[in-house]
Amino acid sequence: MKHLVVLVVLALAANAGAEAAGCRSLAELKSDVTPPELYAAMRTCVAAGEFARAADLYALAGAETAFDTARVTDPAARELHVALSKRELARLGEAERSALMAQLRASLTDSARLPGKCAEIRKVGPPTYEPSYLLGKPVQIPAGFDPVATWKSALAAYLHCPDASLR
């Protein structure tokens, strides 16, 4: 039953991403673009051969889902964080997936490039949208939730951003 719920929510998230953000740079994005929209935009970038932008969008979508699972109290949301990224990678052809992963490794594992990439992603800001895509329904945000601290925590945990890039 648990897997059925994950599949249903993934289908809903796919529909939520129908209005893709387009193949845009991080500087052009605002904090109201949902992860399903970012993943759809990532696929647009991949199709255009824009793997650097695709990697940025993939990284931002992952950071946003990490943030969203911290602000949603339902444990099922945590499973969807992993399921969404796996599903998006599976939608790509092998050559496209390899090129995207190579670009992600280049920008996120290079200690000289990582702080700058983290600063770019941090500037997008903590998500301001309703994270209903996670569960396919409106969700409760815990009282006292601190979006700025949680955004920094998500960037540190998901992207391994150094402290200096989060200021």
Give the model confidence (pLDDT) of 51-98 as tens digits. 999 999 999 999 999 999 999 888 878 788 788 889 999 999 999 999
Residue 112 has pLDDT above 80, yes or no: yes
- What's the chain's average pLDDT? 85
Report the number of distinct structural domains present in the chain: 1
For residues 71 and 142, the answer to whether their CB atoms sit within 8 Å is yes
What mean pLDDT is predicted for residues 94-113? 94
What mean pLDDT is predicted for residues 150-162? 93
Boundaries of domain holding 154:
2-166
Instruction: Compute CA 58 distance to the chain's CA centroid, rounded to the nearest angstrom.
Output: 6
83: alpha, beta or left? (left if phi > 0; alpha if psi -120 to 50) = alpha
Of 166, 151, 61, 75, which is closest to residue 117 (Cα–Cα)? 166
Look up residue 114 and give its two tokens.
Answer: 């990582």
Residue 158 has pLDDT above 80, yes or no: yes
Residue 16, phi then psi, degrees to nearest 5: -65, -25
